[in-house]
A = this chain, B = another copy of it.
Amino acid sequence: MTTKIEQLKTHLAEISDLMYIGNLLGWDQETNMPPAGVKERGEQMATIARLVQQRITSDELCRALEEAEAEVVGMDPDSDEARLVKVTRREVDKRLKVPSRYYEELSQLAVESYAAWKEAREADNFERFRPYLERMVDLRREFASYFSPYEHVYDPLLNEFEPGLKTKEVQQIFTELRPRQVALIQEITSRPQVDDSPLRQYFDPQKQWDFGVEVLTKFGYDWQRGRQDKAAHPFTTSFGLNDVRITTRILEDYVGSALFSSMHECGHALYDLGSDPALARTPLAGGSSLALHESQSRLWENLVGRSKPFWEHFYPRLQEYFPQQLGNVSLDAFYKGINKVEPSLIRVEADEATYNLHVMLRLEIEIQLMTGELQTAHLPEAWNTLMNEYLGLTPPNNAKGVLQDVHWSHGYIGYFPTYSLGNLISAQLWDTIQKEIPNLDDQIRKGEFGELLEWLHAKIHRHGSKFEAPELVQRITGQSITPQPYIRYLRQKYGEIYGF
């Protein structure tokens, strides 16, 4: 480690501290904060955001970065040092191209826009939200303009969440995926439906919580370095490499909600907890991109948590917790129940087979909004048309249609595709894992996850943010991001369940 890089790291450490502090302000707001604290909390979060922006764009940091860049010339480009400089340059440039005033405007609009969206959804009144969304679309187009020339106006937005990926690439992937996913759903819906009513009874919340904790402990979540709380919308958040917390939501009348959301968030947490300690307090600490993050959460939630081997181990235990509800329900029936496929209106409730179509719909709409092909006035109509085309459903109202997601109110345009990319990557990784750990299913059948976690740690987690998603997937699987493994996985799984 050389001096100039050390100097750069001193600047970065302070920024890292501030970002973790911002996370704590948000976590506390969701889990503990008394309602009246909201205005002051907003001021505090704005102060942290402003300090982060000031520091990332400061002359001192820019100078330290330039000097460090000179110093890493000739070093191994995969070394922590070279990657640190590269990723820092990417982030600094992104900040420098956009005026600070822009972020203030964005964050102010986001606050108002979120409030309007909440009211609009509750009242099923799209027009209540539309003016804010329109300003948001304008503001996000302005954002893109700071990065011109670009290949696609959507590229700068996508790169906010998924560095290193082009809109064109995502479109190619989705174009390949969509007809196969639609065909799969048609096959499934042509078969007799499975019955998930045993999952939909009263399940004592405390027992649900306890069972979830057992599972997470087996997964390897370290309670000395994390904790679980309740939140309306489950999320994971980091306050450092040794304090990564998850949240879950318990529904009394559906046993699947808390369980799968806990496993999902645990997957995120294991990723963030797994960074090499040498990366602490740098931009390389913690997961690399939203798609990679989602690949980890989906892997634990779906590839592991909705698999037959997993339940061969855990189902008897779950029956012990809930003898009345599940004592007479067979493993096979339970397994089919948690994997029931049914086209539905709400993305966050969608099953594995239909989920990606919800995302594709949003991507098309976002791109059209950004290119100007679609005006916000015509948005509900466009939404409903695509929903019918992709899933054969028509929303009864906008609350269950175009108003369902919070993302646009925050200005998160470019975020949705990462959900689907995460699904695809999870299956792609799983193919490789199964080759490299041939008896993994047997291990899972015994409730053993140590070798799986070790593999994920060695190949993905420890690298933190050193590698962008396309590069890391290529290194691990020998392929670029592709939908084939995911489609194969879905066809095999649902072929067994639905008998085709």
Which residues in A have some Cβ–Cβ distance to B below 8 Å? 13-14, 17-18, 20-21, 24-25, 28, 32-37, 39-41, 43-44, 47-48, 51, 222-227, 239-243, 245, 280-281
Contact = CB atoms under 8 A, between A and B. Distances in A.
B24 A43 contact: no
A15 to B, nearest CB: 10
A194 B222 CA distance: 50
Number of copies: 2
Which 6 pairs, one residue from A and one from B, show the smallest C-beta to C-beta distance?
A40-B240, A37-B243, A17-B47, A36-B242, A36-B225, A36-B224
B17 A21 contact: no
Contact of A24 (B24, B34, B47, B243): B24
A34 B224 contact: yes
A239 B13 contact: no
A224 to B, nearest CB: 5
Given A41-B240, A41-B243, 11 more contacts: A14-B47, A17-B48, A21-B21, A21-B47, A21-B48, A24-B25, A34-B245, A36-B243, A40-B240, A41-B239, A44-B240
A179 to B, nearest CB: 47
Contact of A47 (B18, B32, B37): B18
15 contacts: A13-B47, A21-B44, A21-B47, A24-B28, A28-B28, A33-B243, A34-B223, A36-B243, A37-B239, A37-B242, A39-B242, A40-B242, A41-B239, A43-B281, A51-B51
A25 B243 CA distance: 13
Contacts of A32: 32, 227
Contacts of A37: 225, 239-240, 242-243
A229 to B, nearest CB: 8
Nearest to A31: B32
A48 B422 CA distance: 36
Contacts of A24: 24-25, 28
A35 B226 CA distance: 9
A18 B37 CA distance: 15
Contacts of A51: 51
A243 B225 CA distance: 27
A137 B224 CA distance: 35
Contacts of A44: 17, 20-21, 239-240
Contacts of A222: 36
A110 to B, nearest CB: 18
Contacts of A48: 17, 21
Contacts of A240: 37, 39-41, 43-44
Q: Which of A14, A37, A226, A245 has the most CB of B within 10 A?
A: A37
A43 B241 CA distance: 12
A48 to B, nearest CB: 7
B227 A35 contact: no
Nearest to A239: B37
A55 B62 CA distance: 22
A28 to B, nearest CB: 6
A217 to B, nearest CB: 14
A36 B221 CA distance: 13
Contacts of A227: 32, 34
Contacts of A224: 34-36
Contacts of A21: 21, 25, 44, 47-48
Contacts of A17: 43-44, 47-48
Contacts of A33: 239, 243
A35 B227 CA distance: 10
Nearest to A55: B51
A18 to B, nearest CB: 7
A36 B36 CA distance: 31
A245 B21 CA distance: 19
Q: Which of A17, A43, A48 has the most CB of B within 10 A?
A: A17
Contacts of A13: 43, 47
Q: Which of A226, A239, A241 has the most CB of B within 10 A?
A: A239
Contacts of A28: 24, 28
